[in-house]
Amino acid sequence: MRVLMYGWEFPPIQSGGLGVACQGIVEGLLSHNHAVFLVLPKTTPAMQMYSPDSFKVLSAGESGGIVEIEHVATGLYSPYATSNDAYWENLKKLLKEEPNTIYSQNMLEEVYRYAAKAAVHARHIPHDIIHTHDWLTTEAGIQAKKISGQPHIMHVHATEFDRSGDTPNQAVYDLEKRGMEHADRVIAVSEYTKKMLMKYYGIKEWKIDVVHNAVQPNLPTGRQAFSTYHKSHHINPTDKVVLFLGRMTMQKGPDYFLKMAKKVLDHMKRVKFVMAGDGDMMDQIIRLSIDLGIERNVLFSGFLKGDEISRAYAEADLYVMPSVSEPFGLTPLEAIKQGTPVLISKQSGISEVIRNALRVDFWDIDEMANKVIAALRYPDLHRTLRERSKEELDKMSWQKQAGEITKVYQKAINK
Amino acid sequence: MKNKKSVRHDGYNKTVCFYFQVHQPYRLSKCNVFEVGNKDDYFEGPATFENKAIFEKVARKCYLPTNALMLELLEKHPEFRVSYSFSGVFLDQCLQFGELGKEVLDSFKKIIATGQAEVLCETYYHSLSWLYSKKEFAEQIIKQKKLIYKLFKKKPTVFRNTELIYSSEIAEFIREMGFKGILAEGWDHYLEWKSPYFVYNPEKVDLHPADRKIARQMAVNKAPKKPACRQGRDIALLLKCYKLSDDIAFRFSNRTWSEWPLTTDKYAAWLDAIMGDTINLFMDYETFGEHQWEDTGIFEFMRHLPEALLRRNIGFKTPSETIKAYKPVGRVHVPYLMSWADMERDLSAWVSNPMQESALRRIFELEPTVHQSASKMTKKKAEELENTWRRLQTSDHFYYMCTKYWNDGDVHAYFSCYESPYDAYITYMNTLNDFEQKLIKI
C-alpha cells in the first residue's frame, strides 16, 4: 500500500515520544512493503537521506518499502504545548529569526494554514491511505481526503485531557474531535486512550482500534560504559538511584515523584532521586524539593538527549513513571531496554503492555514509596523484574505492530 | 500364603478411589514497608480477599453443598467410598471462623463418621518443607496427625504431600515414618509403559543416614520391633489418573472440549473400558461448586455417578482399602521431584524465579532461631511463634510469586489475591522482615 503520512516530530528533531513512535511506525510499515510518503514540518539533510537501507531494525533485503520525506514549514512547534500563549512565545522567537514570516499570529489559524499547505501533496503523490498523528496534523488529513478521496486514519497518541488535565484548550479539543469524526478509522495507542476517546469525544467503539506502541531493539546496552555517571553527578557509588525522566508537566506527575522521594528518604538514607527533563513545572518542582527538605538527595539533570538518556536509564536502579495520565508511555520500555526495572502508574497505556513492572495508582504515595523501597532493598525482586521485563520486551516489535496497523488500513479500505 | 488375597474377592470388575484435597491458605494481610516492626495480624488476608470472606464464600458454594451431596450418596450407596486430605490450616480456619466454620467441620465429621470415608495425612501447613528441612517436614506430619485424631478420631495411614510433590526418596522417608501408602501423580513421563490403573511400590532408594534417623525417630506408627521387619515392610503407591481426574476437575464445563457435555453415562463407559484394578480420581474439593460452578451441572453429574458405575459393576474403595485389596504389580521409580501442577508436573509453580527462591530460603533459614526463641517462652507463646513461622511456609505464598503464568499473559492460570507476583513478593518480604524483627527482640 502507498501511505501518505502527516507526522510532526521525527528523530533527530523531537522533544518527546511522538517522534520516536512515528519513526517506529514508519519503519514497521516499510518492513511490510508499504511505501510511505512522510510529510513533516521540518526536515534535516540527514532525514532527506533517510533510506530503508539505513534502517537498523531491518536488513536491506527485508525492507522492500520506500520512504520519501517532504517538509512544509510552520510556526507551530510542539505537539505537547497546546496553549495559545505557548504558540505566541514561539512565534515571537521565530519572528526574530525570520522577520518576513508567513505564519499566522493565531495558533488555530496556523493549524489551518499548515493543513492546507500540507494537503497539497495529496494532489501529486499517489496513495491508498492517509495516516495522521494527533491534533496538529489531523486537519491536513481531512483536507487531503477532500482532494484524493482516500480513507483517512487518525492515530491518537495523546489527547488534550492527558496534556492539560482539567484545563483543556477548547480549540485543541475541537480539532481532535473533528479529526476523529472525519477520520474513517481511529487508532488509539492503548485501551486507556480508547476509553477516553469514547468517554470525552463520543467516538463510537467500532471506529477505534487499539495498536500499542513498541520499541526498536537496536540500542546497545552497556551498563559498564557509563561508569563515570555516579562520579559526574556526585553520587556515591553505593547510593541507589531512582530516576524520573520526562517533561516536568502536570501530566507526568513530577510532584508525586518528589512526595514519594520524601517518604522513601524518611526510611532509607542513601538514595538519590534524579529528575531528568524540563518543562513548565520546573521551578515549582525545585521549590517543592526544598520545601520537603530533600534537596540534597534530588538531582536535576535538565533535558537529556541521545546517549545521555540511555546512560540515565542504565545507571538507575529503578525508573519511575508516576504519570497522572499517560496514553501510552514509551519511556518505561526504554528503561527496560537498558536493563532497569520500572515502576509505572496504572493510569497509563503501558501498564496494559508490560506485565513485569511494579504498578501503582499515581496518587498512592505510600504504596509508591513502599514499592520503591522494596525494589531497592530486595535484590531478588530487582533481578526478577529486570530479567522478566527484558524477556517481555524482546517479544515486542514495531514490525508486529505495523501488521496491526495494516489490518486497520484494510478495514478502512474495505469498509 | 494367608495374606495373598484373591484380587477380585469383592466381585467388582474394578474399583474407583476418590481422594479430595481440601485446603485454604492463610493469605497475608497487606503489609507495606512502613508497617514493618509493628505489624499485628499477618493473616487476615488482603483487603479485597479477606480469609474469612473467602472461607465463607467457598463454604457456601462448595463445602456445604458438596458435603451434603456426599453424605446423601454415602447413605444411599453403602458401597460408595471417598477420602479426604485436609490441610491443617484449613481445619484451623474451620475452628476460627465461627458458626459457619463449625458447620463446615461438623459436616465433614459426619462424612468421616459413616466409616465409608478415609482421612489422609499431609503436612499441616501445606508446606514445601520437604525441600528445605526433613525435620520440619516430619514435625508438620506429626502435628497434622494429632489434629486429625483430635477432630475425627482417626489415625491416618496413607500420606499425600503438598500438591502431590513426590519422589522415590519422599516415599522412602514416608515409609520409614510408618505409613502404608502414598499418593503421586500418574505422569506418563516416568511411568513409560506402565499403567496407572494398578497399585505399585516405590523403587527402593537410600536415604541419607541423618534423614533416615529423623524419619525413624519421628515415626507416626509403631514400627515392628525387629529392624529386619522394618526394612522389609513396603509402602504402596497410588497413582492419580490425571486424564480422567482432569476431565472432571478442569474440562467438565469447557464447551470447546470435544467431549462436552460430559454425562455420567459417558464417563462411566470410559471407566468401564479401562483395564486395571483401580482408577484413582484425585482432585481439589473446590472442583465442586467453586472451580466448576453449580450451573455447570457438576453436582448432578456427581449425584448420579455412583449408581452409573455400580451398574457397570465398578465399585469404590478408599486408598487403604485399595492398598489392602490389590497386590502391587511392580516398582515405579521417580528420581526427581514431581508434582501434580501444570503441564510440567514439576516445582516451577513455587520455585522458579529468584524471588521465590530467596523467600523460601529466608523462611526456612529461620528454623533454628525460631526453635531457640520458642524454648525461652511459655508453652502457649512458643506455640504461637512456631505457628506464625509455619503459616508463612504455606506453599500458596510462593505460588503467588510465580512469574511463569504471568509472563505468558495467561491470567486464567494465575489464581491469586495479588495484582502481580511482585506485589505478592513485596508483601511477603515485608511481613517476613517484621517477623524477623520480632524474633530478634525475644
Q: How confident is the model at residue A113 (pLDDT cuts 50, 70, 90)?
A: confident
- CATH fold of A224-394 reads Rossmann fold (3.40.50)
Residues of A in contact with B47 (CB under 8 A): none
Q: What cell numbers appear for B440 in the block?
A: 530478634
Domain boundaries defined on chain B: 14-332, 354-441
Closest by Cα among A271, A270, A307, A385 to A339: A385
Say whether the peptide bond before residue B261 is cis (omega within 30 degrees of 0).
yes
Q: What cell numbers appear for A222 in the block?
A: 552497556
Mean model confidence pLDDT for chain B: 92
Q: Mean per-residue pLDDT for A163-173?
A: 87
Query: How confident is the model over B159-169, as pLDDT tens digits?
Result: 999 999 999 99
Burial of A167 (0-12, 13-18, 19+ CB in 10 A): exposed
Burial of A306 (0-12, 13-18, 19+ CB in 10 A): exposed
Q: How confident is the model at residue A150 (pLDDT cuts 50, 70, 90)?
A: very high
Residue B229 reports pLDDT greater than 80: no
Q: Please report which helix (H) or strand (E) contains residue A319, including its range.
A: strand A318-321
Question: In chain A, which segments carry CATH 3.40.50.2000?
Answer: 2-214+397-414, 224-394
Determine what percent of chain A is predicted with pLDDT higher than 90: 57
**Residue-level pLDDT at A60:** 22
- Euclidean distance between CA atoms B249 and A24, whole angstroms: 46
The more confidently predicted of residues A62 and B63 is B63
Q: Mean per-residue pLDDT for B165-183?
A: 96
Q: How confident is the model at residue A224 (pLDDT cuts 50, 70, 90)?
A: very low
Query: How confident is the model over B36-54, as pLDDT tens digits?
Result: 999 989 999 998 889 999 9
Residue A226 reports pLDDT greater than 70: no
**Residue-level pLDDT at A52:** 46
Q: Mean per-residue pLDDT for B134-142?
A: 97
Under 8 Å between Cβ of A174 and A143:
no
Closest by Cα among A69, A3, A23 to A42: A69
| CA end-to-end distance (rounded Å), chain B | 60
- Euclidean distance between CA atoms A200 and A188, whole angstroms: 14
Q: Mean per-residue pLDDT for B78-104?
A: 97
Residues of A in contact with B419 (CB under 8 A): 359
Q: How confident is the model at residue B103 (pLDDT cuts 50, 70, 90)?
A: very high
Say whether B163 is catalytic. yes
Query: How confident is the model over B270-294, as pLDDT tens digits?
Result: 999 999 999 999 999 999 999 999 9
| CA end-to-end distance (rounded Å), chain A | 16
- Euclidean distance between CA atoms A181 and A177, whole angstroms: 6
**Residue-level pLDDT at A81:** 66
ipTM here: 0.87
- Euclidean distance between CA atoms A164 and A81, whole angstroms: 9
Q: What angle do CA A185, A69, A197 make, to 5 degrees?
A: 25
Measured in degrees and rounded to the nearest 5, phi and psi for residue A66 equal: -125, 140
Cβ of B354 within 8 Å of Cβ of A378? The answer is no
- Euclidean distance between CA atoms A15 and A81, whole angstroms: 11
Q: Please report which helix (H) or strand (E) contains residue B85, including its range.
A: strand B82-86
Residues of A in contact with B359 (CB under 8 A): 380
**Residue-level pLDDT at A130:** 96
The more confidently predicted of residues B344 and A13 is B344
Closest by Cα among B312, B231, B315 to B266: B312
Query: How confident is the model over B118-127, as pLDDT tens digits?
Result: 999 999 999 9
Residue B225 reports pLDDT greater than 60: no
User: Cα A239 from chain centroid?
Assistant: 30
A-facing residues of B in 378-437 (CB < 8 A) are: 403, 406-407, 409, 419-423, 425-426, 429-430
Cβ of B355 within 8 Å of Cβ of A384? The answer is yes
- Euclidean distance between CA atoms A347 and A288, whole angstroms: 23
Under 8 Å between Cβ of A48 and A81:
no
Cβ–Cβ contact A393 with B under 8 A: no
- Euclidean distance between CA atoms B220 and B242, whole angstroms: 30
Residue A153 reports pLDDT greater than 90: yes
Strands B181-185 and B158-159: parallel
Under 8 Å between Cβ of B230 and B219:
no
- Euclidean distance between CA atoms A344 and B143, whole angstroms: 45
Q: What cell numbers appear for B344 in the block?
A: 510440567
Query: How confident is the model over A285-329, as pLDDT tens digits?
Result: 999 999 999 999 999 998 887 788 889 999 999 999 999 999 999
Q: Mean per-residue pLDDT for B78-98?
A: 97
Under 8 Å between Cβ of A316 and A241:
yes
Q: What cell numbers appear for B272 in the block?
A: 468401564
Measure CB to CB from residue A366 to each of B34, B354, B425 and give the nearest one: B34
Q: How confident is the model at residue A10 (pLDDT cuts 50, 70, 90)?
A: confident
What CATH number was assigned to the domain covering residues B14-332? Answer: 3.20.110.20
- The whole-angstrom distance between B436's CA and the closest CA on chain A is 15
What CATH number was assigned to the domain covering residues A2-214+397-414? Answer: 3.40.50.2000
Determine what percent of chain A is predicted with pLDDT higher than 70: 82
Identity of the amino acid at A276: A
Residue tagged active-site, from B136, B163, B176, B286: B163
Cβ-Cβ contacts under 8 Å for B117 (sequence gap 6 or more): B70, B74, B81, B82, B83, B84, B111, B318
- Which of these ranges, A183-187, A213-217, A264-268, B334-338, has the smallest mean pLDDT? A213-217
